[in-house]
Amino acid sequence: MTTAATPYHPGERAVQDRAGRTDRADHSGRAIGSTVPPVAARFLTERRVLVAGAADADGRLWATQLSGPAGFLRAADERTVTVAAHPAGDDPLAAALAGPAQVGTIALDPAGRRRMRVNGRSVPDGRGGLVIRADQVYANCPKYIQRRSPVDRPGAGAPRLLAAGSALSTAQQLLVSTADTFFVATTGPDGRMDASHRGGNPGFLRVLAADRLRWPDYAGNSMFMTLGNLELDPRAGLLVPDWETGGALLLTGEARTDWAEPAAAGLPGAERVVDLTVTGVLELADATPLTWTGPEYSPANPPANPPAVAHPVP
C-alpha cells in the first residue's frame, strides 16, 4: 500500500532500491497526483486512442485499446475521465468493463511523443462508454516513443476475432518480433491496475519460444511501476498494435524480471530484462478505425537485434 509519505508500494520500493534509484524515484514521484490538471484535460480531449489494462473474470490481465474521434476522452472534472467507447464483444475485457473494475490507462500522442497515465476505478456510463474515477494521474517523458500520425479508415469494420490460442502462431511471432511499440498491463498489491508503454527499434521485443517473450528494460524515470508490480504479482497483459492495419495482438501470461548481467548483455541498452510466459493469445482485426503513418524512430532507442524471425519457433 502507498502512504502519505510516498506514492510507491513495497514492490516498487524494492525494485527502486535494488536498481539504486531511490532518490531519483522520489524526485519523479512528485509528479504523481490524483487530479487531472487543465493542461492534462486538454491533452486527453485531443487524443484518438486510449490503452486500458484490467483483469478478466478469471483474474488474467489484458491490455486493450479504445478509440474514437478527438473528444471521445474528456475530463468531466479534476477526478473524473469519461470515455465514449467500450471494448467490443470479442475483446477479452468487454465483460470486465461492463461492470465496475480497476483499470490502468495510458493516453499516447505518438505525433508529439507525449503520454499520460490515468489509473483508477471504471464504471459503465449507461450509454456504451466508461467513467473513470482517477486515483493516479501523471505524465511520462517522451523516451522511446516512435513518432507517427493517425489516419482514419472510413471503411473500417467492427473489431472482430481472427484467432485465439495459448501460444503464438508463426505470423504472430513475426508481428511481435518486428514491433517497435507495445503496452503492458500489471497490477499492484492493492489490486490497482497500471498500463505502461514500451518502445524501441524493431527487434527489441524478442520471441524466445512460441509461448515465451523477452524485452529489455531501458533507463527511464526510475519509478519502476511495472517492475514493482511484477515484483509482487507476476500477472501481465500485453497489447501489440498493428499500426499498418488497425489490428492488434493481445497476450496474457506471467512475467518475471531477470537481473542477471548475462541476460541484459544480450540486448543493447538493457539494464535488465523481462521474460513473459504466454498463456493466452487473442488477435483482433479492426481493433481501431485508424492506421498510422510510418514511424520516425525515437533518437533514444538503443540499437536492437535484427527484426525478422527467419525461422519462427514452433
209-228 per-position pLDDT tens digit: 999 999 999 999 999 999 99
Domains along the sequence of the chain with CATH: 10-292 (2.30.110.10)
Q: What is the pLDDT of residue 310?
A: 43
106 close to 196: Cβ distance less than 8 angstroms: yes
Mean pLDDT of the chain: 94
Statement: residue 314 has pLDDT above 70: no
Question: What is residue 5's predicted lDDT score, i.e. its pLDDT?
Answer: 74
pLDDT at 306: 61
d(CA 136, CA 106): 11
Exposure string (b/e) for 116-133, b if CB count within 10 Å is 16 or more? bbbbbbbeeeeeebbbbe
pTM for the model stands at: 0.95
Instruction: Tell me the three-class secondary structure of the chain, residue by residue.
Output: CCECCECCCHHHHHHHHHHCCHHHHHHHHCCCECCCCHHHHHHHHHCCEEEEEEECCCCCEEEEEEECCCCCEEEEECCEEEECCCCCCCCCCCCHHHCCEEEEEEEEECCCCEEEEEEEEEEECCCCCEEEEEEEEEEECCCCCCECCEEECCCCCCCEEEEEECCCCHHHHHHHHCCCEEEEEEECCCCCEEEEEEECCCCCCEEEECCEEEEEECCCCCCCHHHHHHHHCCEEEEEEECCCCCCEEEEEEEEEEECCHHHHHCCCCCCEEEEEEEEEEEEEECCCCEEECCCECCCCCCCCCCCCCCCCCC
Max intra-chain CA distance, the chain: 52
Mean pLDDT within 116-137: 97
Q: Which pLDDT does position 308 carry in this prediction?
A: 46
- The whole-angstrom separation of Cα 265 and Cα 60 is 31
The answer to whether the CB of 65 falls within 8 A of the CB of 22 is no
CB atoms within 10 A of CB 4: 5
Digit-coded pLDDT (tens) for 26-76: 999 999 999 999 999 999 999 999 999 999 999 999 999 999 999 999 999
pLDDT tens digit string along 235-266? 999 999 999 999 999 999 999 999 999 999 98
Q: Which amino acid is at 285?
A: A
Within 10 A of 218 (CB to CB), how many other CB atoms are there? 20
Q: 31 phi and psi, to 5 degrees? A: -80, -10
Tens digit of each residue's pLDDT (9 = 90 or more) over 174-184: 999 999 999 99
| pLDDT, mean of residues 276-302 | 96
Instruction: Say how many residues make up the chain.
Output: 314
